Amino acid sequence: MRVRVAGAATAVAALALAVTACGGGETPDAAAPSETAASETAATSAPAKDKGNGKLVIWADPNRIKALKPFADEFGTENGVTVEVKEISADNQQTFVTASQQGSGPDVMIGAHDWIGNLVQNGAIDPVNLTAEQKSSFSEIALKAVTFNGQVYGAPYAVENIALIRNTKLVPDAPASIEEMVKTGTKLKKDGKVKEILCLPVTQLGDAFHIYPIFASGGGALFGTTDAGDPDPKQVLVGSEGSVAAFGKLKDLGEKGDGALKTSLTNENSIPNFAAGKCAFLISGPWAMADVKKSGLSYDITAVPGFEGGKPATPFVGVQSFFVASKGSSKALAQEFVSNYVTNPDVAKALYEADPRPPALTAALEAVEAADPDAGKFMDAGKIGFPMPAIPEMSAIWGPFGIAETAVVKGGDPAKAAAAAQKAIDGSLKN
C-alpha cells in the first residue's frame, strides 16, 4: 500500500510503499501466459534490432516478479537476449537514482509516477516512445499521470486511489457526508458494535496520502496551479487560509473533538481492525482487499464523502509505471520492452493477479472488472481525484504536512501547525 511519512527518503520510496505490510494478505501466483497470449504479444512486438550488450535488466518489487518473469523470458527468447528480473524492495527510487549515477542501474525500472519529476531532474529516465494508438489505450488519468513537461515518461500499468470501504451489515447505505459518517460511527461505538468511529491511518508522523481527501474537502491545498492546470511549485499553500480552515476541521475530528481521527490508528492496524469488525468504515485502497475479502465481511466500496457544503473530497491517484533508464546498457531493448511488450493487456492482467490494483489499460480493466467488480468501484471512487504531483518539490511536503496533521489531531492550534509546516517546506525548497 502507499504510506507517506516524514522524511524525504521514506516519502519517495513509492514502490516499497505500494507493498508495505498493512494487511499481510497473500497474493495469488500469476499464471504463465498462454500460447494465445504469447502469439498476441509477439504480433505487437518485432524483435529489437539493437540488442545492446545482449542483456536486459529489469528492477521490480517482490509482488511483481512472479507475474512479470514469464513475459520477460518470452521477450528474451524472441529477441535472442538474456532478461534478468531483479528484486528491489527498499528505498527503490533512491536506489535507482544512485545506481543510475554510478552506471550500475537497470535498463527498465518499475515505480510510481510521482517519481518522474525527480527522475527527470536527475537524468535517470528517458521518454517512452508510445504511438498515438497506444496512448489512447490507457485511461485518461493514467496517461496524464505519466506526462511531465509535455512528454510521456512511463508506460502506466496500474492505477490506485483510496476510497471508503464500509461494513454493509452495520451500515447498509453509504454516508452522504463526513458528518453523517462520523455520526453513524459514533452511534455504533456508543452501542458497543465497534471500537473505532473510523479506521483511517494517522500515525504519530501523519499520513498526507490518506487524509488528503478530507483535507481537500475542508478547503486545504498543497500547491497552487499553473495556467495549464498543473501543480505550481512556486505556490506552496499548506499555510494558506484555506489550509488553516482544513486543519481546523481535522482538529474537530481529532482526539479532543469527535474522536474519529486518532494517532493510534496506523497503516499496520487500520485494515486488520476493519477486517475484525472493530470499525464500520475504512479509508484505504485496493491493497486492503485481500484482508477484507478473507474476513468474510459484507462490504461495499464508494468514494470518500466530503464535508456538508464543502469542496469535493479529491483523493490522490497513483499510477504504477515502467520506466526506461537513461543510462541503461540496452536502451533500444528497454524501449521495445516498455513500449510494445508491457502495454499488452495480458501482461496487465497478470500483474493485476499478482497485486490487485486496477489496470491502466482500458481493455485489461474491462476484463478485470468482469471478474472483480471491486476494481471498477475503486476507479469510480477515484474519478474526482487527480494524479499525485510528480514535481520534485512534492518530496518537501510529506514530512512537514504530517507533523501538522498529527499536531491538530492531538488538539493543537491549526494556524500554528499550518504556519510551521509552511515555514519548513519553504526552507527545504530554498536549500
Q: Residue 100 maps to which CATH number?
A: 3.40.190.10
| Tens-place pLDDT, residues 349-405 | 888 888 889 999 999 999 999 999 999 999 999 999 999 999 999 999 999 999 999
Q: Is residue 71 part of a domain?
A: yes
Looking at residue 230, its pLDDT comes to: 87
CB 58 within 8 A of CB 84: yes
Q: Say how far apart CA 22 and CA 291 lie, in whole Å.
A: 9
232 vs 29 pLDDT, higher one? 232
Q: Identify whether residues 156 and 195 lie together within a single domain.
A: no
Average pLDDT over residues 122-149: 95
* Per-residue exposure over 96-123, b if at least 16 CB sit within 10 Å of its own CB, e if not: bbebbeeeebbbbbbbbbbbbbbbbebe
pLDDT at position 61, please? 86
The domain in which residue 413 lies consists of 163-314+397-430
Contacts of 228 (CB under 8 A, 6+ apart): none
Chain segment 227-261, per-residue pLDDT in tens: 888 899 999 999 999 999 999 999 999 999 999 99
Are residues 364 and 348 in contact, defined by beta-carbon separation less than 8 angstroms? yes
Q: Cα–Cα distance between 371 and 389 in angstroms, integer?
A: 32
Return mean pLDDT, the chain.
88
In-domain check, residue 424: yes
Question: CA torsion, points 352, 356, 359, 363, in degrees to nearest 10?
Answer: 60
| Structure confidence at residue 47 (pLDDT) | 53
- Co-location of 16 and 81 in the same domain: yes
Domain shared by 340 and 258, yes or no: no
Same domain, 408 and 370: no
How many contiguous H segments (helices) and E segments (strands) does the chain have?
19, 14
pTM reported for the whole predicted model: 0.85
Q: How confident is the model at residue 17 (pLDDT cuts 50, 70, 90)?
A: very low
Do residues 149 and 41 both lie within one domain? yes
Average pLDDT over residues 284-306: 97
For residue 173, with 0-12 CB atoms within 10 Å meaning exposed, 13-18 middle and 19 or more buried, which class applies? exposed
Q: Is residue 38 domain-shared with residue 134, that is, in the same domain?
A: yes
Flag whether 250 is in a domain.
yes
With pLDDT > 70 as the criterion, what percentage of the chain qualifies? Answer: 88
Do 257 and 136 fall into the same domain?
no
C-alpha cell recorded at residue 225:
496551479
- Strands 281-284 and 155-161 turn out to be unpaired
Give the model's pLDDT for residue 418.
98
Distances (CA, A) of 182 to 72, 179, 252, 270, 279: 48, 5, 11, 16, 11
Domain-located, residue 386: no
pLDDT for 50 equals 67
Give dist(CA 207, CA 201) in Å, integer. Answer: 7
The answer to whether residue 333 is domain-embedded is yes
Q: Are residues 192 and 275 in the same domain?
A: yes
- Same domain membership, residue 410 and residue 377: no
Q: Which has more confidence, 36 or 186?
A: 186
Number of compact structural domains in the chain: 2
Please report the pLDDT score of residue 298 as a whole number: 98
Assigned domain for 101 exists:
yes
Helices (H), 122-195: 132-136, 140-145, 178-190
Q: Are residues 134 and 229 in the same domain?
A: no
Mean pLDDT for the stretch of residues 55-73:
89
Cell numbers for 283: 479509508
Same domain (yes/no): 122, 184: no
Residues forming beta bridges with residue 387, ordered by sequence position: 317
